[in-house]
Structures are given as structure tokens and as C-alpha cells.
Amino acid sequence: MELHCPDCGSIVYSRRSPKCGVCGKPLPESFRFSPEEAARYEEQLRIAKEGLDQAVAENREIEEQTRERLREVQRRSNSIFPPPFM
């Protein structure tokens, strides 16, 4: 599910930003990661990047797979609207 800015209707790409990337208006609280979600995301990203660094050192083929995984983590964090209790 995509989130749209209530002011300009643009798709919200970053759920870590408190403002719309297009018009700069503040986004609703519910659009944003909670501190827990943000921490989880940062952790996932850190692990993926660590894996990438390692892969670069070891093997180009693995590097590409790891980049794919990193993109997947980033894509998921921006496109899924998670709260299961809402």
C-alpha cells in the first residue's frame, strides 16, 4: 500500500521523514515509523550493509545478491504500512 501526502497527493517514499519530500508539508504522525520500527529498520539496514561490505571483499557474485537483499529491505520498509493493530 502506498501512502500519499494529504497536501499535494504525492507518493510518500520515505517513512522516516517527517515531511513530504515534494511539497515539504508535515506528514501525519501515522505515516512515520515509530521509534521501534525505525530502530528495527536501521538494524536490518546495518546488517544488510555489513553483509555487502563482506561480499565486496569476497566475491562479486555474492555482492550482487546482497545488493538485491538490501534493496528489498529498503523497498519493504517504504511500501508496507505495517501496524497490525489498526
The residues binding Zn ion (CB under 5 A) are: 5, 7-8, 10, 20, 22-23
CB of 66 to Zn ion, least distance (A): 34
HEC secondary structure over the chain: CCCECCCCCCECCCCCCCECCCCCCECCHHHCCCHHHHHHHHHHHHHHHHHHHHHHHHCHHHHHHHHHHHHHHHHHHHHCCCCCCC
Which residue lies nearer to Zn ion by CB, 23 or 47?
A: 23
Which residue lies nearer to Zn ion by CB, 10 or 78?
A: 10
CB of 19 to Zn ion, least distance (A): 8
